[in-house]
Amino acid sequence: MYLDSTGDKAIGLLSNGEEISMEYGGEAMAHAFDAYDVGAIWANYDYDLSNAVPETLTINGKTHVCKKYSVDSLYGGTSIWSASVDGKPMAVQIKYNDIQGNSMLYQLWDWG
């Protein structure tokens, strides 16, 4: 995802190797990775976040030592990889799965 200079609006994204510009709706997407506390993402749900599994990811040439949290439901599942980036804990990867086997993967490619 590409953000404008304020960091408050997504102006484009890279999907399956293709750059896509965004003309609307970018405000909500701009904050997809703002969760400095992974628990804030699921704050409205009663999920046990103590099931973190250590996992190392390499995203855009950067290695992140992560804690992976996963939640499954009747409708699919979600996994969040949380790591410290520049001293701030944040989600570096989020993956959503539905019951049909479709998935969406979001990765933090750059920060700062």
- The arithmetic mean of pLDDT across residues 87-109, rounded, is 85
Q: How many domains does the chain have?
A: 1
List the domain range (segments joined by +) for residue 78.
Answer: 2-109
The H-assigned helical ranges of 5-111 are 26-29, 38-41
Residue 7: predicted pLDDT:
63
Per-residue pLDDT at 1: 64
User: What pLDDT does residue 43 have?
Assistant: 56
Model pLDDT, residue 36: 44
Give the mean model confidence (pLDDT) for residues 92-101: 86
pLDDT (tens digit per residue) in 17-54: 777 776 655 555 555 555 445 555 555 555 556 667 89
Number of residues assigned to the chain: 112
Strand order in the sheet with 10-15: 2-3, 10-15, 18-21
- The reported pLDDT for the residue numbered 46 is 58
Q: Which residues contact 1 (CB under 8 A, 6 or more apart)?
A: 10, 12, 13, 14, 29, 30, 32, 106, 109
What is the predicted pLDDT for the residue at 55? Answer: 94
Query: Percentage helix, strand, coil, to 5, in the chain?
Result: 5, 50, 40
pLDDT tens digits, 55-83: 999 998 999 999 898 877 777 788 888 88
pTM of the model: 0.63
Q: Which of 70, 96, 97, 93 is nearest to 82 (CA)?
A: 93
